[in-house]
Amino acid sequence: MLILLAVALLVTSFACSAILTALSKKLAGRFGLLAHPQADRYHREVIPLGGGIAIFGTLGLFLPAAAGFIRFLVAPGYFGGLAERANIVPADFLHRCDELAVVLGCAAVLFVVGLWDDKKALGPLVKFGAQWGVAVAAAAFADIRAEFFIESRIVTVAMSAFWIVLIINAFNFLDNMDGASAGIAAIASVILLATAALNSQIFVSGLAIVFVGTLLGFLVFNFPPASIFMGDAGSLVVGFFVALLTLRTTYYQQDHSGPWYPVLMPLVVMAVPLYDLASVTLLRLRQGKSPFVGDTQHFSHRLRRHGLTDRQTVLMLYLATLCCGLGAAFLYQVNLTGAILIFVQTFLILAIIAIFESTVRHDKDTR
């Protein structure tokens, strides 16, 4: 039953996202949601920016609908509480539904701010303030926070809010090339989905499945050559949901005496987005520029200047993310030496890419 429900959620969220993306693509121009060619952007055509509407719309429709459907199944008057007796719904499911309402409210704030920025180009301080407000609210009121080895709620809320803002900006920065942000988010979410499923986290697994289906439906139109962009209305929401999954997935059971290092799994899974964020920020600061001013110095742009096509570039990003994510998935099964090797492997993957992107391209053959 669980497998059938998971497949149904994936297929229907994918279809809904694809349909809404197609509609947004047609209507974006009427509302002035268009990305025009600029010196600090790589695209050279006018592209609709309505993808964020489809992404948030699908999540806003499917997550409450899925929660309501499961509530219907567990209600004593319907099927005799069939789902609850079958042990496919966690005991605290109703509490998780209340948290879901807070999550969707936070996502709605990010969506509105991002849509406003897509339309009017807000300053970075406004967006940054909104991100921090949402991050603190999610950590404090929806319990989207890490609790590993720390009992102070204030400390865990502060740390989790910082992580949420960091991941939001990482995926906002990644939205600089066709298919990059959505594709990397989908790959990372599949890794987190597998981890949540192995730990019997039904609620988190359901969130991840709907999220992955939503991203894949959007990617039908966003994979190179893209016919629509997600815009900040999409990238802020995508980053928020990835951060949510990293914080709500269980990596370590304090009740069992097991290794502690699986708690670092999100750092390995997020290695590529964090590498892009860190590298482009350092480049801009070194040049005396604001880290929040757009340019074409991102990881993907640096790769593309070596002669790769858009598809080759984004596939290279996908492969790097997948390689790091697969290594992270084995943190459960290895000893400390194995964990160190996984972290070293992740570093080496990024180092290979860094060496490749920093070399000078030779257009002429050397003889």
159 with 145: CB under 8 angstroms?
yes
14-30 average pLDDT score: 94
Predicted confidence (pLDDT) per residue in 252-262, tens digit? 655 554 567 77
pLDDT at 33 > cutoff 70 = yes
- Confidence grade of residue 36 (pLDDT, cut at 50, 70, 90): confident
- Confidence grade of residue 20 (pLDDT, cut at 50, 70, 90): very high
Residue 71 CB neighbours (<10 A): 15
- Percentage of the chain beyond pLDDT 90 is 47
In this predicted structure, what is the pLDDT of residue 34?
Answer: 85
Predicted confidence (pLDDT) per residue in 242-285, tens digit? 999 999 887 765 555 456 777 889 999 999 999 999 988 888 88
Residue 154 CB neighbours (<10 A): 9
In this predicted structure, what is the pLDDT of residue 308?
Answer: 84
Which region, left, alpha or beta, applies to residue 136 given φ > 0 means left and ψ of -120 to 50 means alpha? alpha
Of 59-68, 217-226, 351-360, where does the model show the most confidence? 217-226
- Confidence grade of residue 42 (pLDDT, cut at 50, 70, 90): low
In this predicted structure, what is the pLDDT of residue 285?
Answer: 87
37-47 average pLDDT score: 69
207 with 244: CB under 8 angstroms?
yes
Cα–Cα distances in Å, from 360 out to 271, 286, 303, 306?
24, 20, 11, 8
The CA distance from 362 to 103, in Å, is: 49
Predicted confidence (pLDDT) per residue in 118-160, tens digit? 888 788 889 999 999 999 999 999 888 876 667 788 999 999 9
Mean pLDDT of the chain: 84
One-letter identity of residue 283: L
The CA distance from 172 to 272, in Å, is: 13
Predicted confidence (pLDDT) per residue in 165-209, tens digit? 999 999 999 988 899 999 999 999 999 999 888 887 888 888 999
In this predicted structure, what is the pLDDT of residue 270?
Answer: 95
6-21 average pLDDT score: 94
pLDDT at 21 > cutoff 90 = yes
pLDDT at 32 > cutoff 60 = yes
The CA distance from 132 to 204, in Å, is: 23
Rg (CA), the chain: 21
What's the chain look like in SS3? CHHHHHHHHHHHHHHHHHHHHHHHHHHHHHHCCEECCCCCCCCCCCEECCHHHHHHHHHHHHHHHHHHHHHHHHCCCCCCCHHHHCCCCCCCHHHHHHHHHHHHHHHHHHHHHHHHHHHHCCCHHHHHHHHHHHHHHHHHHCCCCCCCCCCCHHHHHHHHHHHHHHHHHHHHHHCCCCCHHHHHHHHHHHHHHHHHHHCCCHHHHHHHHHHHHHHHHHHHHHCCCCCCCCHHHHHHHHHHHHHHHHHHCCCCCCCCCCCCHHHHHHHHHCHHHHHHHHHHHHHHHHCCCCCCCCCCCCHHHHHHCCCCCHHHHHHHHHHHHHHHHHHHHCCCCCCHHHHHHHHHHHHHHHHHHHHHHHCCCCCCCCC
Predicted confidence (pLDDT) per residue in 65-106, tens digit? 877 766 665 555 544 444 544 455 555 555 567 788 899 999
